[in-house]
Amino acid sequence: MSVNKEIKRITTETLRKMKFDGDKISMLTAYDFTMATIVDHAGTEVILVGDSAANVMAGHETTLPITLDQMIYHAQCVVRGAKRALVVVDLPFGTYQSDPQKALESSVRIMKESGAHAIKLEGGKEIEESIRRIVNAGIPVMGHLGLTPQSIYQFGSYKVRAKDDAEAEKLLSDAKLLEELGCFSLVMEKIPAGLATKVTESISIPTIGIGAGNGTDGQVLVVHDMLGLNNEFKPKFVRKYLNLEDQIVNAIGQYVQDVKSTDFPNSNEQY
Ligand code: KIV
């Protein structure tokens, strides 16, 4: 799908209606202007400026090191490229968990300085007051439950979450709480498909899954993963639509050869 001249912005209301109508929502990450432009042109409804930027853009092992200033920079680049998609930005680790006032200030900075349309944060009951404060300020909030990568050192691994009854029950009750607090949507990461479907059927806000099966209202992937930009990373839940790493390596290898053989530039490629 390509976007025509009269671009109508996707809003949180659009997503709510999509759930109601049974239309699935597509969401992808982007961290820069060029990729955001492409993802937007391709028709993705939501672009997530994920704190996974810490991994795929900066090469960190976890999402913890990325700062609020760095997230704002990525968000500014994405907002310039996204003409139709709703742009959601992750609140990075340490900018909202400690106190609700700080959570609000971090969210306000993202909204004011980047021009993004919503924020996302990880957790349920533990950050209830932070969510309440942000929503009350008129900022749309997307929740994130299940495998929440900012808690990786507490989890100890990136294994599937909420497999046991206690954790599954907490996740369901957190999902209901997020709806009650006014979140407009909820990401569920790496949890059993049956649980994700149950949550989706139990709440009226759209759910977006990643490694959570087909019963959610939408799906999200890290764009670098689905384009095959990293051959090393191949979790079960990622479908690779391209093998870009190989294609780029081949193309660059060809360029190197052409430079060395003086085939590039030729007479048409010079002034
Ligand atoms: O940071 C991120 O990319 C995310 C998605 C995996 C949901 O939070």
Average pLDDT value for the chain: 97
Model confidence at 5, in pLDDT bands (50, 70, 90)?
low
Q: Would you say residue 33 has pLDDT above 90?
A: yes
Measured by CA distance, the residue closest to atom 2 of ligand 1 is: 50
Q: Would you say residue 1 has pLDDT above 60?
A: no
Size (the chain), residues: 271
Please pick, among 6, 105, 126, 189, the residue that the annotation labels catalytic.
189
Model confidence at 167, in pLDDT bands (50, 70, 90)?
very high
pTM more than 0.85: yes
Peptide bond into 140 cis (omega under 30): no
129 included as an active-site residue: no
Q: CB–CB of 127/145 below 8 Å?
A: no
- Segment 205-258, tens digit of pLDDT: 999 999 999 999 999 999 999 999 999 999 999 999 999 999 999 999 999 999
Kindly give the distance from the C-alpha atom of residue 70 to the centroid of ligand 1, in angstroms, as a whole number.
Answer: 16
Q: Would you say residue 160 has pLDDT above 80?
A: yes
Model confidence at 6, in pLDDT bands (50, 70, 90)?
confident
Q: Would you say residue 4 has pLDDT above 70?
A: no
Q: Which residues are CB-contacts of 195 (< 8 A; sequence separation ≥ 6)?
A: 162, 168, 171, 172, 212
User: What pLDDT is attached to residue 98?
Assistant: 84
Q: Would you say residue 95 has pLDDT above 80?
A: yes
User: pLDDT above 90 covers what percent of the chain?
Assistant: 96
User: What pLDDT is attached to residue 121?
Assistant: 98
CB atoms within 10 A of CB 58: 13
Kindly give the distance from the C-alpha atom of residue 180 to the centroid of ligand 1, in angstroms, as a whole number.
Answer: 23
